[in-house]
C-alpha cells in the first residue's frame, strides 16, 4: 500500500489523537484540522489524498465543509473524503452523498474498517473504487457487535476484572438513564434528551457497547430536529439493545467468575 497524505478534521482531542496514531503507524503522513474552516483552508493550500471529516465541528460542520471543498475543486480535482459519524448508516448515507463525500466511517472507530478503507483509497489506480466502497458497507456497515470487550479492555488497563466491574455499574445505571430519556421524550424536552443521548453514546462506546452507542448517537441527532416519532422508535430500540447487552454481559461475567475459567483478574 502506498503512503497517503491525509488530513484529519476532528475537533475532539482524543479522537484526533487516536486517528492520527492509527494512520501514522500504517505509514501515512497526517495533518490535523480542528474545525471545518481550518480543514477547507488546509485543502486549498496543500494536496491531500484523503480526508477523514468529522460531522460535528465548530465554525463549519463536516457536511458543509465537504460541500465547500467540492465547490472549490470545481470538478478539476477530487480529494477523497470519509465522513466520521456516530449516526446510523441509514441516516448519514444520503447526507454524505449529497454533500459530495465518498463514504463514511462509524464511531467508535474500528481499526480493521479503517485499514480496509485505506487499502481501497491507496489502490493504484482508483478504478472500481466506488464499487469497493459500496461493497464494504453492504457487507459490514450493520455488522456491529452488541458488546466488543476486546476492543475496549485496553481502556481499563487490560484488566478484565476491572472492566467487568465497571461494566456492571454502567448496566445498573441504565434503568435510570432510560427513565430520564423517556420523561424528556414524553415532555418534548429536546435539549435534555439530546444531552442524555449524547452522554450515553460516549459511555457506551467506552465499554464496547457499539450498537448502543450508535443508537444513542442517532437519538441525539433526531432530538436536535425535534422528530418525536423517529425518536420514540430509536428509544425503543435502545431499550431492546440494553436487554441484549445485559444478557450478554451477565453471561461473560458468569464465565469469568466460574472456577474452571482460571481467571485471576488481569488479562
Rounded CA gap, 170 and 90, in Å? 28
In 55-94, at which residue ranges do the beta strands (DSSP E only) sit? Answer: 80-85
pLDDT score recorded for residue 132: 56
Q: Answer left, alpha or beta for residue 60, where phi above 0 means left and psi between -120 and 50 means alpha.
A: beta
pLDDT score recorded for residue 142: 44
Asked whether the beta carbons of 19 and 10 are under 8 A apart, the reply is yes
Rounded CA gap, 104 and 67, in Å? 15
Rounded CA gap, 82 and 69, in Å? 13
Residue 9 sits at φ, ψ, to 5 deg, of -100, 105
pLDDT score recorded for residue 5: 97
Asked whether the beta carbons of 60 and 90 are under 8 A apart, the reply is no
Any idea which residue has 431499550 for its cell? 239
Comparing C-alpha atoms, which of 198, 203, 248, 260 is closest to residue 223?
A: 198
Comparing C-alpha atoms, which of 149, 15, 57, 259 is closest to residue 65?
A: 57
Rounded CA gap, 167 and 204, in Å? 9
pLDDT score recorded for residue 175: 96
Q: What pTM was estimated for this model as a whole? A: 0.54
pLDDT score recorded for residue 141: 40
Q: Which residues of the chain have pLDDT under 50?
A: 124-128, 138-142, 263-267
Span 199-221, pLDDT tens digits: 898 899 889 998 898 888 888 88
Comparing C-alpha atoms, which of 121, 151, 118, 132 is closest to residue 24?
A: 118
User: What's the gap between Cα 258 and its chain centre?
Assistant: 34
Distances (CA, A) of 184 to 88, 193, 194, 195: 22, 5, 9, 10
pLDDT score recorded for residue 71: 96
Q: How does DSSP assign 157-193, residue by residue?
A: TT-HHHHHHHHHHHHHHHHHHHHHHHHHHHTT-HHHH
Residue 115 sits at φ, ψ, to 5 deg, of -60, -40
Q: Which three cell numbers stand for residue 265?
A: 483478574
pLDDT score recorded for residue 122: 82
Asked whether the beta carbons of 69 and 43 are under 8 A apart, the reply is yes
Amino acid at each position: 500500500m502506498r503512503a497517503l497524505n491525509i488530513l484529519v478534521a476532528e475537533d475532539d482531542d482524543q479522537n484526533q489523537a487516536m486517528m492520527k496514531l492509527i494512520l501514522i503507524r500504517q505509514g501515512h503522513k497526517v495533518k490535523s484540522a480542528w474545525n471545518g474552516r481550518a480543514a477547507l483552508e488546509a485543502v486549498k493550500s496543500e494536496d491531500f489524498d484523503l480526508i477523514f471529516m468529522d460531522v460535528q465541528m465548530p465554525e463549519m460542520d463536516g457536511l458543509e465543509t465537504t460541500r465547500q471543498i467540492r465547490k472549490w475543486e470545481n470538478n478539476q480535482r477530487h480529494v477523497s473524503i470519509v465522513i466520521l459519524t456516530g449516526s446510523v448508516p441509514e441516516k448519514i448515507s444520503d447526507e454524505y452523498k449529497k454533500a459530495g463525500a465518498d463514504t463514511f466511517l462509524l464511531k467508535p472507530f474500528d481499526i480493521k474498517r479503517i485499514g480496509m478503507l485505506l487499502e481501497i483509497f491507496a489502490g493504484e489506480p482508483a478504478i472500481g473504487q466506488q464499487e469497493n466502497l459500496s461493497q464494504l458497507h453492504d457487507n459490514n456497515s450493520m455488522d456491529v457487535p452488541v458488546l466488543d470487550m476486546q476492543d475496549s479492555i485496553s481502556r481499563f488497563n487490560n484488566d478484565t476484572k476491572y472492566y467487568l466491574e465497571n461494566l456492571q455499574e454502567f448496566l445498573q445505571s441504565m434503568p435510570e438513564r432510560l427513565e430520564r430519556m423517556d420523561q424528556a421524550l414524553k415532555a418534548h424536552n429536546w435539549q435534555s434528551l439530546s444531552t442524555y443521548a449524547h452522554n450515553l453514546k460516549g459511555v457506551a462506546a467506552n465499554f464496547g457497547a457499539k450498537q448502543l452507542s450508535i443508537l444513542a448517537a442517532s437519538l441525539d441527532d433526531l432530538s436536535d430536529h425535534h422528530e418525536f416519532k423517529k425518536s420514540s422508535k430509536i428509544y425503543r430500540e435502545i431499550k431492546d439493545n440494553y436487554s441484549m447487552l445485559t444478557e450478554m454481559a451477565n453471561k461473560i461475567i458468569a464465565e469469568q467468575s466460574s472456577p474452571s475459567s482460571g481467571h485471576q483478574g488481569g488479562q
